[in-house]
A and B are shown apart, each in its own frame.
Chain A
């Protein structure tokens, strides 16, 4: 493993990965390691930025209309795999969240037979709640979680990893749903550690229909914006637990 961190070798492997000549198990291992080691991710991104403009030389070909029709149809009917991804995230994060937070009888939108035993054992008899697990990168471990009791108007937030803000910036929490524009939940009181956010309505009303939580960085002075302007630095599923 340590040999990957020799700069010359890392650069060589990252170049081969982006070009496509790194193959087989070496490629799989490199991808797997990159997910855990930012230095490898950075080396890959550097090579992508160097090489991928080559793709601009390819003659554009407009795809047939059926491609977009198929994509559009799949937006409303996500394949089973996408639900499994949420399930997998829950399986990974449940012990952490449930140790600190709240609990459940049933994960409502998952068939009960799919619930990990660990979740059902740890959540019996715990109050009804909403909980969100947010990450900075898809598939990465949670870097933030948020939770609220079903009928209460306080959202408990814990930044597992802090967000670095420039002067005159703040964080805003958004609720995303399939068919509606993003819903502004409120300003995240602190970019690090634990904080509490007062909700405009009890959690079951505030988070009704919300499937995903996201946090954007916004400029001070735009506290009343109804749509995000800054990029998302945290995002993850919002789960109803009862």
Chain B
């Protein structure tokens, strides 16, 4: 898929998701079912990376979609993409769960590699459409980080690890890991915002 076609397809899909969220806000069950069909595999995938128990991940996915059903009217399309909004709901609920559990460190450790695979190995039409521009920009910025910064941020993002857990897993001092993550986020912010500015001006 070339980049202009990908962008057009992504815009079409984004518009469809926005429309489905608007209809969901009106408690249109058919629209909600379609929204679930399009987005649940991605969101379930996010949960399975963070939550050790598949049963718990299923339960959280249920809770999150009920929340989406109840709060779709609060989605603001001018502020974020539909998938971003739904992903934030799912990740925040998963993080709440993880912070009351001690199971975060048992999931597969391929988080860093996954960061560099964005847009390359994500099957399915949703991924193909959505992975175009935003993820490319983010991938470039992640690739520009130091390896330790990238590894720490990826572990925290994909697996929901705390500073302490990242430090324990990498065998590094807590202060060192905190510094990697803080500086890595700052570099990411500068890089992503800079790219966005270039796109706006270009």
Question: What is the 8 Å Cβ interface bit string for chain B, positions 114-131, against chain A (1 contact, 0 not)?
Answer: 110111011110110011
A56 contacts which of B27, B131, B186, B193 (Cβ < 8 Å)?
B131
B126 contacts which of A24, A60, A228 (Cβ < 8 Å)?
A60
Residues of A within 8 A of B83 (CB): 52, 55-56
A55 contacts which of B36, B42, B75, B124 (Cβ < 8 Å)?
B42
Interface residue? B101 (CB, 8 A): no
Q: Which of A122-171 contact B (CB under 8 A)?
A: 136-138
Residues of A within 8 A of B58 (CB): 63-64, 66-67
Interface residue? A53 (CB, 8 A): yes
Among B36, B75, B87, B131, the one with the most A-chain Cβ atoms within 10 Å of its Cβ is B87
Interface residue? A178 (CB, 8 A): yes
Residues of A within 8 A of B66 (CB): 71, 74-75
- By size class, the interface of chain A is 35 or more
Asked if A57 and B88 make an inter-chain contact with CB atoms under 8 angstroms apart, the answer reads: no
- By size class, the interface of chain B is 35 or more
Q: How far is the CB of B175 from chain A (nearest CB, A)?
A: 14
Residues of B within 8 A of A82 (CB): 70
Given A50-B138, A232-B22, are A137 and B40 also a contact pair (CB < 8 Å)?
no
Question: What is the 8 Å Cβ interface bit string for chain A, positions 69-103, against chain B (1 contact, 0 not)?
Answer: 01110110000001000000000000000000000
Q: Which of A170-221 contact B (CB under 8 A)?
A: 174, 176-178, 181-182, 212, 214
Q: Which of A36-75 contact B (CB under 8 A)?
A: 45, 47-64, 66-68, 70-72, 74-75
Asked if A176 and B26 make an inter-chain contact with CB atoms under 8 angstroms apart, the answer reads: yes
Please report the C-alpha to C-alpha distance between residue A54 and residue B157 in the assembled complex, in whole angstroms.
Answer: 8
Which residue of chain B has the shortest Cβ distance to A18 in the bound complex? B88
Asked if B122 and A23 make an inter-chain contact with CB atoms under 8 angstroms apart, the answer reads: no
